[in-house]
Structure 1
Amino acid sequence: MSRMKPTRNLMLVLCPMLVLGFLYYSSGRLHLHLRVWGQKSQTEMDNVFAVGRVVASVYDKQGFLLKLDGKLPLDLMYKYGNLSKGACKQGFAAAKMTAIYPKFTKPAPMFLDPNFKRLTKISSYLPPFGIKTQERIIDVILSETQNYGLGSELDSLSCTKCIIIGNGGILSNKSLGSVIDEYDVVIRLNEAPVSGYEKDVGYKTTMRITYPEGAIQKPEHYEKDSIFVFSAFKPLDFKWLRHMVFRERLRATEGFWKSVARSVPREPNEMRILNPYFIQEAAFQFIGLPLNNGVMGRGNIPTLGTVAITMALHNCDEVSVAGFGYDMNTPHAPLHYYEKVKMSAIKESWTHNIAKEKEFLQKLVKAGVIQDLTNGI
């Protein structure tokens, strides 16, 4: 029996070492299987335990991969790697997004249509995160507009390249106008002008997303062929839109935080209502802003630019941006390309969290989900 003790002692040492070795090897391969875990809870995704005292967190608290780069996963490399230069990559943005954020699901219509009540994710939230209490007025508006897509030509494209034009001063003197005009869908925001700035921002406008206080107030400044896309941030905004659609006189403007447009030079069939799910998803899922019981509050509203990007991730095959990025280290730089307001003015906003929003957009750029033509993000 005494001769067996060394062997037994050796086994007692070797067995734990073999187990530890196996665990170490397994942990090194763990990332290969994480996409399968997309259905698991956030807690399970955020806490992956390795050997000993080391805790390997693979996802951040919003559900994005911590280690991001622009490299294509093998399956996407096989699908897109051999396409000719400039060819539209069908499904690319959603595929890249899903690779870094497994909870992403593509189906989310760009605009509300008469079946909007089927969209359960927005039915329990008040504006801006949903349509609760506004169902009746939305029905009335949609019965008049009668169009709920981008138009037959764009809706029939098998692959769509979209670009969102931010209003940032970084657009100035970049001469990107001709590049911007090559995109299938050019999305502009609020009252940012085109006339006089075509060399930098292009001529083409597919749609202009805005809300009452952000809408162009001079009818002559509207582009001729663009779609007017309305984004609601409060119940009163839908009443304003109804007046615009039916061309009713706007008698009172109480409840708006600044002056609003009194008319929109568009036919009803050229107007759309942006799906508020994109505000909800950008705020609570992507950026991680305070829920505040689902009500608009301090620091829990994403900028319209980020809302537009979120919309494009669901509805465009490739997504680019230009004119994005607030550099708070240069407070005297121009905030917008078309006016002299300084960068420091953005600090006065109580609704946005610019720092957290920038973190989200940087993830998209670093992972190659979107392309930033002005490198401001």
Structure 2
Amino acid sequence: MITILKIAKTSFITLVLGVLLVISYNFSHVMLQSYGLSEKPLTFNRVLCHSSWKWESLNFNVSRRTKLFLKLKDFFWDQHTLSLPLPYGTMGSKLILQKILATLTNSDMPGIVDSLKCRSCVVVGNGISNKNSSLGDVINKYDVVIRLNNAPVRGYEEDVGNKTTMRFFYPESASYNPIVHNQPDTLMVLVPFKQEDLSWLNWIVHNEKRVMKGFWRPPPLVWLGELNQLRILDPFFMYSTATHLLQIPIFDKTATTKNPFHPTTGILAVYVALNYCDVVHLAGFGYPRKDDPEQLIHYYGHNTMKDMVHSYHNLIHEVQALRRLEDSGAILHLRPNS
């Protein structure tokens, strides 16, 4: 009789433990999907990669092109397909690109990221919604963290984390000392909008004479970043962002406006992530209402909506595009306490 009671007691304990394990697993699964949070990166990736949506469901062309950066061989035996000027092609810039790329010895993503079967990525925007969000620990869990321009990290870790895999920038948004707000292995990815942007990079790489003409804001005359961490984004992605995602007319010789609209660095980074990553989440995207010109737009600094009045970006198209992406399940916005 005592033996039977012991067996029954053991079976009951086993059953309870089993139920608790199932509940714990289901709860963890839901929390991971909601927050993108896990103690183990492998579990984190595996859960995030169990996505039900398909790339084919998107109503624009995502090529799933995972070679992101220009290489020297692109201008020799590989034919570059975009016969357009910057920012949509390399026409008129091939000689200076050859000179720069001949000095940059690496044009790839880190092997540890490139070899992942499933890449979880988060694009961290600079929007005011990041302020007091407490998303820092969540952001640090992703395989790839993409940041934009000169957005600071130090002092804001609780809200935006401190991991940075890639930082997209252009000369006017460059920091003279990128080590301050980036990790030593962060890839600094130049997005060339105009010929002067490549001229600036050429000064930096070859220490040539600085000419400040052609910039809307003075770029740093000295750049203390590591050249082996420097990359140049292939203009293919800017072209595809404009034509496939935003569906805005690109600059050409027949353009009727002197200053045509170009995609922002943020929406460009989202499109790059859709090509390279298997899971794409966003934090800090979106602008405040236009009817409040004094509203701050960044989680740092003092820029307001009135600073966007003369922007060469079509923000309406970008908001609509992000909404389509979220509705299709291609991206997920991380929000505080979501």
TM over 0.5: yes
Match of 1:231 among 182, 185, 191: 191
User: Which runs of 5 or more residues in structure 2 are unaligned?
Assistant: 1-42
CA deviations on 1:96-137 (whole Å, 9 max, x unpaired) are: 342122643223521112232436432x01000111111122
1:161 Cα deviation (Å)? 0.8
Rate the CA distance shift 1:230–1:292 in 2: closer, same or farther, 3 A: closer
> What one-letter code is carried by the residue in structure 2 that aligns with 1:112?
L
Tell me: CA distance 1:218–1:313, structure 2 relative to 1, closer, same or farther (3 Å).
Answer: same
Match of 2:120 among 141, 161, 176: 161
* Residues 1:255 and 2:214 are matched in the alignment: yes
Give the partner amino acid of 1:304: T
CA contact (8 A) 2:122 2:280 kept: yes
The one-letter code matched in structure 2 to 1:369 is: A
Question: 1:85 Cα deviation (Å)?
Answer: 7.1
Contact conserved, 1:88 with 1:317, CA < 8 A, in 2? no
Matching of residue 244 in structure 1 with residue 204 in structure 2: yes
Partner-residue secondary structure (3-state), 1:360? helix
2:314 counterpart residue number: 353
- Name the CA distance, whole Å, in 2 between partners of 1:177 and 1:263: 30
d(CA) in 2 for partners of 1:323 and 1:146?
Answer: 33
- The alpha-carbon deviation at position 249 of structure 1 amounts to 4.8
Q: Residue type of the partner of 2:197?
A: D
Contact kept? 1:88, 1:160, Cα under 8 Å: no
Counterpart Cα distance in 1 of 2:60 and 2:191: 27
Give the distance between the partners of 1:120 and 1:275, measured in 2 at CA: 10
Report what 2:278 is aligned to.
Answer: 317
Q: Which residue of the partner structure matches residue 341 of structure 1?
A: 303
Change (3 A) 1:92 1:316: farther
Give, in whole Å, the separation in 2 of the partners of 1:188 and 1:135. 27
| Structure 1 match to 2:15 | none
Aligned residue in 2 for 1:27: none
1:88–1:318 CA contact under 8 A, matched in 2: no
Q: Deviations over 1:237-257 (max 9, x none)?
A: 1111112223x1553211111
Query: CA offsets, 1:130-154, max 9 Å, x none?
Result: 1111112212222211111221221
1:170 to 126, 129, 133: 129
Closer/same/farther in 2, CA of residues 220 and 228 from structure 1, 3 Å limit: closer
- Counterpart in the other structure of 1:115: 73
1:165-192 CA deviation, whole Å, 9 max, x = no partner?
A: 1111111000100000001111111110
RMSD: 2.5
- Residue 300 of structure 1, CA deviation: 2.1
Pair 1:331-2:289 in alignment: no
What secondary structure, in the 3-state scheme, does the structure 2 residue paired with 1:340 have? coil
* Partner-residue secondary structure (3-state), 2:162: coil
Q: Percent identity?
A: 34
AA of the residue aligned to 1:365: E
Equivalent in 205, 213, 228 of residue 164 of structure 2: 205
* TM-score, L = length of structure 2: 0.79
Partner of 2:28: none
Q: How many residues align?
A: 289
- Residue 172 of structure 2 contacts residue 215 of structure 2 at CA under 8 Å; is this kept in 1? yes
Unaligned runs of 5+ in 1: 1-83
Work out the CA distance in 2 between the residues paired with 1:297 and 1:106: 33
Q: Secondary structure of 2:268's match?
A: helix
The residue type equivalent to 2:73 in the other structure is N
Alignment CA distance shift 1:107-1:115 (3 Å): same
